[in-house]
Amino acid sequence: MSDDRPTILPASWQVEVRGPQDLEWSLSPELYALHGLEPGQGPDGLDLFLTHLDPADADLAVAASEALRRGEAFAHRRRLVRHDGQERDVLAVGLGSYDDDGSLVGASGYLLDVGPMVQRAVAEEMTDQLDEVVEARALIEQAKGVLVLAYGITADEAFSLLGWYSQRTNTRVRTLAARLVEGASARAGDPTHLDRLLSVLLDPRCAPLLEVPQGEAAPAWSAERVAPSVEVGHQLAIPVVAVAGDLDAAGAAEAVPQLRDELAGLPQPTRPHVLDLSGVGYLGPAAVLAVAGVVTKHLATSADLRVVAGPARAQLVAAGLSQSRFVRATRDVEPA
Residue 307, Cβ neighbours under 10 Å: how many?
20
CATH fold match for the domains 11-114 and 229-332: no
pLDDT at 298: 95
Whether the model pTM is above 0.75: no
CA-nearest of 259, 252, 322, 257 to 288 is: 252
How high is the mean pLDDT in each 10-residue block of the chain (336 residues)? 50 86 87 88 84 87 86 84 88 84 86 66 56 69 86 88 92 89 64 78 92 72 83 92 93 94 92 93 93 95 92 91 92 80
pLDDT at 252: 94
pLDDT at 119: 57
Q: Do the Cβ atoms of 242 and 233 come closer than 8 Å?
A: yes
HEC string for 75-135: EEEEEEECCCCCEEEEEEEEEEEECCCCCEEEEEEEEEECCHHHHHHHHHHHHHHHHHHHH
Distance CA 178, CA 249 (A): 17
pLDDT at 5: 45
Provide the CB-side half-sphere exposure for 208 (13 A, CA): 9
pLDDT at 3: 46
Can you spell out the DSSP letters for 301-322? TT--EEEE-GGGHHHHHHTT--
Q: Does domain 11-114 match CATH 3.30.450.20?
A: yes
pLDDT at 260: 95
pLDDT at 192: 45
The CATH fold assigned to 229-332 is Transcription Regulator spoIIAA (3.30.750)
Runs of H (alpha helix) within the chain: 29-34, 46-51, 58-69, 119-151, 155-169, 173-186, 194-202, 249-264, 285-299, 313-318
pLDDT at 133: 59
- φ/ψ of 279, rounded to 5, equals -85, 0
Domain-wise residue ranges, the chain: 11-114, 134-211, 229-332
Q: Which residues contact 79 (CB under 8 A, 6 or more apart)?
A: 54, 56, 57, 87, 88, 89, 90
First and final C-alpha spacing in the chain: 72
pLDDT at 184: 73
